[in-house]
């Protein structure tokens, strides 16, 4: 995802017609995509309007799901890690996109 596409997505997700849950899932995908492209924490946090701590939380959640998804199902990962099932599903969807 290039920077132009990123900002286009930010404009789209700012739409009042998108549900807060859907908006959150799109933001998490953007954050993870920027992480995989090796953007630095301060830069990505600023670009996504998050604190560095929030950015790091998303990345740590993604890494945990990546490891646990090889041997556990969504409900188990969510319960053990104290995450919402929707975040776990989003991380797994991103992992599945990587495999394609």
Q: For the segment 30-44, what is each residue's pLDDT rounded down to a tens digit? A: 888 888 888 888 988
Angle at 13 between CA 27 and CA 58, to 5 degrees: 5
Model pTM score: 0.71
Between 74-81 and 52-68, two packed helices, what is the crossing angle to 10 degrees? 140
**Residue 56 has which token pair?**
């790091």
> Which residue would you say has higher pLDDT here, 71 or 17?
71
Contact 48, 31 (CB under 8 A): yes
Alpha carbon distance 88, 77 (integer Å)? 7
pLDDT in tens, 60-97: 999 999 999 999 999 999 999 998 898 899 889 888 88
């Amino acid at each position: 995802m290039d920077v132009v596409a990123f900002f286009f997505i930010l404009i789209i997700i700012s739409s009042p017609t998108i549900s807060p849950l859907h908006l959150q899932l799109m933001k998490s995908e953007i954050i993870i995509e920027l992480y995989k492209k090796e953007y630095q924490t301060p830069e990505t946090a600023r670009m996504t309007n998050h604190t560095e701590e929030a950015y790091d939380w998303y990345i740590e959640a993604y890494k945990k799901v990546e490891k646990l998804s090889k041997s556990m199902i969504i409900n188990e990962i969510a319960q053990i890690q104290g995450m919402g099932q929707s975040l776990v599903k989003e991380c797994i969807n991103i992992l599945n996109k990587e495999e394609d």
